[in-house]
Amino acid sequence: MLKVRDLTKRYGETTAVDGLSFEVAPGRVTGFLGPNGAGKSTTMRLMLGLDRPTSGTALVNGRPYADLPAPAREVGALLDASAGHPGRTARAHLLALARGTGVPAARVGAVLETVGLASAARRRIGGFSLGMRQRLGIAAALLGDPATVIFDEPVNGLDLDGVLWVRRLVRDLADEGRTVFVSSHLMGELQLVADHLVVVGGGRLVADAPMAELIAAWSRTHVVVRSPDAAELAVRLRAARPEGAEPVEVEPGAPGELRVRGLAPEAVGDLAHAAGARVHSLYREEASLEQAYLELTESTVRYAAGQGGSAGPDAAPKAAAPGSARRRWRRRR
Ligand SMILES: Nc1ncnc2c1ncn2[C@@H]1O[C@H](COP(=O)(O)OP(=O)(O)OP(=O)(O)O)[C@@H](O)[C@H]1O
């Protein structure tokens, strides 16, 4: 179980984490989603006591990491796959870690088996591919058989087999009742493995909800209509009130184009006909989740890029992302 409350971390002028609060529950995979520089690694480092928060708290099983009596048994992490002396064998590396953390040496063979590195146990880490290093990092995280695992971008650099293996592993770990917290900057990746998502942008919380709820909120389809009479048609469409449905939303797209939510293509066509508006094309478009997520976090990225990081609680916009996906998300909550 992981819990952060009002967590803030500043590095000089840069606010890497800006008042984050959320919880990560056991028995499910929680995805930690955000573009590069959103503050994911910093949050994970704070959870693991590798850095001190400027303010707020990060707790593992109700305690700061530094106060855990047997940390290796409570939480294991993959933060940086390049860890480990290149001249050491995989087995020697894990044995040293086991000794340093009070974990029985017998666990080394077990975790090498789990991550598929048993046959490479006596090879030097220096000769490992990125995928093998990633597996070794995961082996190290699992050494203490911890109830909570934290994986920072675990599929980075993996080939397809490796990616499929990580997906299976995180699912199995959650099914065993563990708390599983996995970061990625790719919505598509987390969509395949996570039951719940915590989304950050510019160090701030953008969303914290079950995956199914976010998919429902973010993947609303819309109808695209192109018409030389778009202005008149927009007035007519906005006035439509389909019974029992949400109000119709009409946003301008490219010149002469409208993007309509809340009406089927047939209804848009009928209303255009009734209004005497010419229609040159009409089709339904599915918004991809990746698109919605990028829209949600886009303004926070631009803000951070333009300001060298958010400059403080008053300087940053209150709503993390004022894009239309953000408005839709908030309205549906
Ligand atoms: N030790 C540090 N000193 C100064 N700035 C830092 C430090 N660590 C992180 N930052 C800054 O804090 C912000 C958040 O970085 P962080 O690495 O946590 O983001 P992230 O979401 O994990 O992105 P990425 O996937 O690119 O690592 C960035 O602007 C980064 O440059």
| CATH number, position 59 | 3.40.50.300
How high is the pLDDT of residue 213?
Answer: 85
Report if residue 317 sits inside a domain: no
> 317 vs 324, which has greater pLDDT?
324
- pTM for this prediction: 0.77
Domain assignment present for residue 325? The answer is: no
Residue located nearest, by CA, to atom 16 of ligand 1: 39
- Nearest atom in ligand 1 to 51's CA: 1
What value does the mean pLDDT take over residues 219-247?
86
Residues 262, 181: one domain?
no
Of 211, 243, 258, which one is at a domain's C-terminal end?
211
Asked which of 211, 239, 268 is the last residue of a domain, the reply is 211
158 and 180 assigned to the same domain: yes
- Smallest Cα–Cα separation from 112: which of 135, 78, 96, 81? 135
Percentage, residues of the chain above pLDDT 70: 87
Atom 30 in ligand 1: residue holding the nearest Cα: 37
Element of type H or E holding 289: helix 289-307
Specify the number of domains making up the chain: 2
The token duo for 188 is 């598509």
Locate the ligand 1 atom nearest the alpha carbon of residue 17 and give its number.
14
- Asked whether residue 305 is domain-assigned, the answer is no
Q: For position 327, what pLDDT does the model report?
A: 45
- C-alpha 202 to ligand 1 mean position (Å): 10
Same domain, 128 and 175: yes
Token readout for 86 is: 């290149």
Residues 242 and 126 in one domain: no
Relative to beta strand 148-152, strand 179-184 is: parallel
**Residue 15 Cβ contacting ligand 1 at under 6 Å:** no
Please report the sign of the dihedral spanned by the C-alpha atoms of residue 188, residue 200, residue 325, residue 24.
positive
pLDDT in tens, 176-226: 999 999 999 988 899 899 999 999 999 999 999 999 888 877 766 789 999
Cβ of 222 below 6 Å from ligand 1: no
User: Last residue of a domain, which of 211, 235, 262?
Assistant: 211
Give the tens place of pLDDT for each residue, 258-313: 999 888 899 999 999 999 999 999 999 876 777 778 777 765 554 444 443 333 33
> Residue 41 class from Cβ within 10 Å (0-12 exposed, 13-18 middle, 19+ buried)?
buried
What are 119's two structure tokens? 């046959």
**Local structure of 137: helix, strand or coil:** helix
User: If residue 251 lies in a helix (H) or strand (E), which one and from where to where?
Assistant: strand 249-252
Six-digit token pair at 271? 């209303």
Q: Give the integer Cα–Cα distance in Å for 200 and 333.
A: 17
One domain for residues 48 and 74: yes
C-alpha 42 – ligand 1 centre gap (Å): 6
Q: Which SS3 state, helix, strand or coil, does residue 125 take?
A: helix
How confident is the model over 155-170, as pLDDT tens digits? 987 889 889 999 999 9
- Contact between 102 and 95 (Cβ < 8 Å): no
Q: Which domain holds residue 260?
A: 221-286
